[in-house]
């Protein structure tokens, strides 16, 4: 797909989301929040669901948690427009309650379609609901800062998943901010490795002359990171 085709496909999904009534969250919302970002990005960040500010503006992560997320991205030299940011549920749960399993299930096709269009190399989960969606059965306190392959049935065909705490958790518990900074700092290296894995797996991969060396170097270079950050 070209950039323009991806942009159009994402806009079509967003248009459907904005009028969706597939679950009870439609009743309490002001605006649905489909997500936004670069149609060309290799990195998708998935949060939990819109809060009050997001519900008013129809945009993801524009409140206090969004400011922290932006700060964390800035630390690695990235801007929010460089990535794609969305949520597990696209409409605000009343009083910011947790999304219910049936609401997550009802909204899942939108996220799946977004991921099919974007085909990210790295999928960053923010918080436990996103973690549960992409890496079921793991506890965030144990697996934050670690990566694993994403199940292609989620729509992300060949992505490496990476678990972060939710920025809102770091706003409630200040000590988590440093943890989030450390975890975020490992994302650029993770992207380089994820790219190399995708290139090696792709059917039209280059003749295996230069590629294995480059891959080996990347893997060697990241061994320290693996130990330091507990990446798989």
Binding site for ligand URA (CB under 6 A): 47-51, 54, 60-61, 65-66, 87, 168
Binding positions for ligand SF4, 150-179, rule CB under 6 A:
none
Pair type for strands 147-149 and 84-87:
unpaired
Pair type for strands 84-87 and 36-37:
antiparallel
Give whichever of 23 and 184 is closer to ligand SF4, judged by the CB atom.
23
Choose from ligand SF4, ligand URA, none: what does 9 bind? Cβ within 5-8 Å by kind: none
Q: Are 192 and 160 in contact (CB under 8 A)?
A: no
Q: If binding is defined by CB under 6 A, does position 115 make contact with ligand SF4? A: no
Sheet holding 147-149, edge to edge: 36-37, 84-87, 43-47, 122-126, 160-164, 147-149
Residue tagged 């794609």 (tokens):
84
Interacting residues of 152 by C-beta distance below 8 A, sequence separation 6+ = 158
Binding mask 73-112 for ligand SF4 (x = CB under 6 A): ----------------xxx-----------x--xx-----
Q: If binding is defined by CB under 6 A, does position 23 make contact with ligand SF4? A: yes
Choose from ligand SF4, ligand URA, none: what does 87 bind? Cβ within 5-8 Å by kind: ligand URA
Least Cβ distance, residue 103 to ligand URA (angstroms): 14
């Amino acid at each position: 797909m070209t950039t323009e085709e991806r942009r159009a496909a994402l806009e079509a999904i967003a248009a459907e989301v904005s009028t969706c009534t597939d679950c009870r969250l439609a009743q309490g919302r002001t605006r649905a929040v489909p997500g936004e970002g670069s149609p060309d990005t290799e990195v998708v960040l998935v949060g939990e669901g819109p809060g009050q500010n997001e519900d008013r503006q129809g945009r993801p992560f524009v409140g206090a948690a969004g400011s922290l997320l932006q700060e964390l991205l800035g630390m690695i030299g990235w801007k929010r427009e460089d990535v794609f940011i969305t949520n597990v549920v696209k409409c605000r749960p009343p009083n910011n309650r947790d999304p219910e399993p049936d609401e997550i299930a009802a909204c899942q096709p939108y996220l799946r379609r977004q991921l099919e269009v974007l085909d990210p190399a790295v999928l960053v989960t923010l918080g436990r609901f996103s973690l549960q969606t992409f890496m079921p059965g793991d506890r965030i306190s144990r697996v934050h800062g670690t990566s694993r392959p994403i199940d292609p049935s989620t729509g992300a065909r060949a992505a490496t998943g990476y678990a972060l705490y939710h920025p809102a958790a770091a706003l409630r518990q200040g000590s988590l901010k440093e943890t989030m900074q450390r975890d975020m700092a490992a994302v650029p290296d993770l992207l380089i490795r994820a790219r190399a894995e995708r290139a090696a797996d792709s059917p039209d991969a280059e003749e295996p002359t230069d590629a294995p060396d480059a891959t080996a170097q990347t893997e060697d270079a990241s061994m320290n990171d693996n130990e330091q950050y507990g990446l798989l």
